[in-house]
Chains A and B, each alone.
Chain A
Amino acid sequence: DTGVSQDPRHKITKRGQNVTFRCDPISEHNRLYWYRQTLGQGPEFLTYFQNEAQLEKSRLLSDRFSAERPKGSFSTLEIQRTEQGDSAMYLCASSLLQQDGYTFGSGTRLTVV
């Protein structure tokens, strides 16, 4: 297992387009998290999955954002009708137990032009 994988690494899109990112966590990790990070800031929580169940979603997240983890393995994060303010690094992380530290992927850098 090579850790948490995210695809694509970079995405440039025009305002108003939809984008989808994929995260493959460490295979035995049942907990999966999505975070967003902008320059000079810490990661901001977006959503959390335990297996296939989405158990928490940030209230800051607009309804343009949706995430799935259909079989409890990989996850996708979709942003509809992208805005320039969505430009950020989108980080996925996974862990085995709630008390474990997170293993982050390398992220997907989104630029909305």
Chain B
Amino acid sequence: GQQVMQIPQYQHVQEGEDFTTYCNSSTTLSNIQWYKQRPGGHPVFLIQLVKSGEVKKQKRLTFQFGEAKKNSSLHITATQTTDVGTYFCAGNTGGFKTIFGAGTRLFVKA
């Protein structure tokens, strides 16, 4: 069945350092979504990518969708303590079911 893998599982950074999480799917995706979940909270939608090779930016966050539409990345420039949380990618192959990765948990040390 469809699987979505994320690496790394955890990342510790010093405030001001950059952070990247990677997402890989076993199958070609029709779209990929990214969510952030703060400790004790619920996932919050960040963005959706649809086109092959698409790049989108939200302030310090840069999202990329691979050319083959099987991988994606989220890059945060100059992390802040407010970036703490778990970042999930979630892929859809065109059906009703969106499959979430296990997430990358980001720790930021001030």
A105 within 8 A of B: yes
* A43 and B43 in contact, given A99-B48, A99-B50 (Cβ under 8 angstroms): yes
Q: Contacting chain A: which of B11-19, B76-84, B92-100?
A: B92-100
Q: Is the CB of A42 within 8 A of B88?
A: yes
CB distance from B88 to the nearest CB of A (A): 5
Instruction: Encode contact with B along A30-65: 1 for CB under 8 Å, 0 otherwise.
Output: 000101000011111100101000011010000000
B73 within 8 A of A: no
Q: Which of A43, A55, A91, A107 contacts B96 (CB 8 A)?
A: A55
Which chain B residues (31-81) contact chain A, with CB distance < 8 Å?
A: 31, 33, 35, 41-48, 50
Interface centre among A43, A91, A100 (most CB of B within 10 A): A43
Q: Is the CB of A99 within 8 A of B31?
A: yes
How many A residues touch the partner, as a band? 20 to 34
Main DSSP-derived SS at the B contact region:
strand
B102 within 8 A of A: yes
Once the chains are docked, how many angstroms separate the CA of A33 from the CA of B35? Answer: 16
CB distance from B67 to the nearest CB of A (A): 21
A103 within 8 A of B: yes
Q: Which B residues touch A100, using CB under 8 A?
A: 48
CB distance from A31 to the nearest CB of B (A): 8
A21 within 8 A of B: no
A74 within 8 A of B: no
Q: Which of A40, A44, A56 contacts B100 (CB 8 A)?
A: A44
Q: Which B residues touch A48, using CB under 8 A?
A: 96-97
Q: Which B residues touch A55, using CB under 8 A?
A: 96
* 6 sampled A-B residue pairs with Cβ under 8 A: A45-B98, A45-B99, A99-B48, A101-B46, A102-B43, A102-B45
